[in-house]
């Protein structure tokens, strides 16, 4: 007597669809979270001189001088110290 077994999600047939959808959604969400975390650390590493300068500044004028360490792009404009 030979018994055939279907393995994995194939054994569930149509009932496996919600599980596949949830698994795919979880993977996409996890990847986005990892990209966000990696991007955050990358910005901190690339602009480390700016952050150290800003944190060590004792006066507002010294803090404004730290803006010279930022590039002239959108991210630089977002990070710059405002008067």
- pLDDT per residue rounded down to tens, the chain (83 residues): 455 556 666 666 666 677 788 889 999 999 999 999 999 999 889 889 988 998 999 998 998 898 888 888 887 788 788 87
Angle made by CA atoms 48, 50, 52, in degrees to the nearest 5:
70
The first and second tokens of residue 58, run together, are 């004792």
**Per-position b or e across 57-70, b if 16+ CB within 10 A of its CB:** eeeeeebeebbebb
Task: Provide the whole-model pTM.
Answer: 0.58
* Residues comprising the chain, all counted: 83
pLDDT at 42 (0 to 100): 92
Residue 29: how many CA atoms within 13 Å on its side-chain side?
Answer: 6
pLDDT at 31 (0 to 100): 97
Helix or strand (DSSP H, E) at 37: helix 17-46
pLDDT at 75 (0 to 100): 78
| Residue 81 falls in which region: left (phi positive, over 0), alpha (psi -120 to 50) or beta | beta
């Amino acid at each position: 007597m030979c018994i055939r077994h279907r393995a994995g999600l194939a054994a569930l047939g149509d009932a496996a669809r919600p599980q596949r959808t949830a698994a795919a959604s979880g993977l996409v969400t996890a990847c986005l979270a990892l990209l966000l975390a990696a991007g955050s650390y990358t910005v901190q590493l690339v602009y480390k001189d700016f952050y150290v300068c800003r944190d060590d500044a004792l006066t507002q004028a010294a803090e404004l001088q730290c803006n010279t360490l930022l590039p002239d792009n959108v991210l630089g404009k977002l990070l710059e110290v405002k008067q």
